[in-house]
Homo-oligomer: A and B are copies of this chain.
């Protein structure tokens, strides 16, 4: 990157907020995938106006701009694959307002999700989305990827809580989208279009979130099963029971093996799957529904079925769930994580297909995740040093995506396409749909400077 551009950036945001040494830049080359690419510079703007100045410079000199929060993404979305400037939004980290009267929060994109959730709960309110990275990830990244988490079964995902956004467009203008109100249909829904747009349509500089009342009670239940099939069948039964669980998570036996010592109880040796279930509501109602769900699990042969007696016990269960992803590296040093979703009735078929793929490709493929909404995190484990395993991984990924599409599923529920899934996009979107998506991108970003190389496979057609 030319010196005069670096100098201009330093003038705009202050020299101490621009990183240029190779060591410093390398720190912002990667996210939570195994992809990395060196940026030309890393900039930490302190205001929306500074973000806009960076974007206008990028338009004038046609260099890529890659927005980034905490870098916890799982699809390479913030990896600067075509170089350019990484715009780190961690200085925009103020909670501007939590309004009990309006049931909204107004925040900057760099706020850590866990801090936001705690601040909201201190006011007796609740912001539900809870990706496993909640203690590290930023709310801006959550919006850009449309993050989910365990309680989506009852409460939905980030999309369902974003009312309004302030955004610097790829062309440099600052606009407001959406509302501070619970409803709104004025013009095209730009707010939800930015949700999950993976930093390719603009840089979010302020977010208005809908809040809900804090549920007065939550109980957690754990149920062990002898077979995967029994666990999957129980998930279907619970979803159709009208007992409306808040979360309905599952872990298979490989996953359980990796987090067993964190669980607040011992599991029998033959446990093939664990369901982790939460129920929110008024205390007596929660107790009733937890009792009926527990009975439903026992009827399906679950043993043990344990209701958490204290908040600490429940927290222990959820803590174990949240460290599953890194814990799997105990089994093999490398992994590819997918987050496919299938229609609810196809969960048993997917679980069974995963076992076939693992056998067929000679790989260990543990799965866990959000059984309650059909969003299963599939982890293909391997050792980079073992050629056979290394070569089998992309074949297993293709097997998986082929099966998911056959089951009318989707390639990603909450991690996004980014870099890692871009080559597979054509398995889900038709050429006409893809062409429309490219026209849409061009309407926002005619010079293709905003996070280029993401979502779409290959270079854009001329």
Contacts and interface: CB of A to CB of B under 8 A. Distances in A.
Interface string A320-354: 00000000000000000000011111100000000
Contact of A186 (B152, B214, B411): B411
A428 interface: yes
Contact of A101 (B285, B341, B345, B443): B345
Contact of A410 (B184, B196, B415, B421): B184
B101 A236 contact: yes
Contacts of A195: 189, 192
Contacts of A236: 101
Interface string A230-269: 0000001001111010000000000000000000000000
A120 interface: no
Contact of A187 (B190, B242, B455): B455
Contacts of A374: 181-183
**Residue of A100, A344, A421 most packed against chain B (CB within 10 A):** A344
A440 interface: yes
A193 B196 contact: no
A282 B216 CA distance: 16
Contact of A416 (B185, B344, B444): B185
Contacts of A174: 432
B412 A180 contact: no
B432 A187 contact: no
A395 interface: no
A1 interface: no
Contacts of A274: none
Contacts of A343: 99, 101-102, 104, 180-181
Nearest to A343: B102
B429 A375 contact: no
A306 interface: no
**Residue of A284, A341, A416, A442 most packed against chain B (CB within 10 A):** A341
A281 interface: yes
Interface string A84-107: 000000000000000111111000
Contact of A185 (B103, B146, B285, B408): B146
A152 B185 CA distance: 14
A367 interface: no
Contacts of A157: 183
A175 to B, nearest CB: 4
A413 interface: yes
A356 interface: no
A174 B436 CA distance: 11
Given A175-B430, A288-B284, A342 B186 contact: no
A135 interface: no
B103 A190 contact: no
Interface in A397-414: 408-414
A169 interface: yes
Contacts of A373: 181-183
Interface in A169-183: 169, 173-177, 179-183
A427 to B, nearest CB: 10
A174 B195 CA distance: 24
Nearest to A430: B175
A11 interface: no
Contact of A179 (B169, B215, B289, B410): B410
A52 to B, nearest CB: 11
Contact of A289 (B240, B282, B455): B282
A78 interface: no
Given A285-B285, A288-B284, A412 B169 contact: no
A164 B324 CA distance: 31
A187 B443 contact: no
A156 interface: yes
A175 B432 contact: yes
- Top 6 A-B residue pairs of the complex, sorted by shortest distance between their CB atoms: A101-B345, A183-B413, A285-B285, A213-B242, A192-B192, A182-B373
Interface of A: 99-104, 124, 145-146, 148, 152, 156-157, 159-160, 169, 173-177, 179-190, 192-193, 195-197, 201, 213-216, 236, 239-242, 244, 281-282, 284-285, 288-289, 341-346, 370, 373-375, 408-417, 421, 425, 428-430, 432-434, 436-437, 439-444, 455
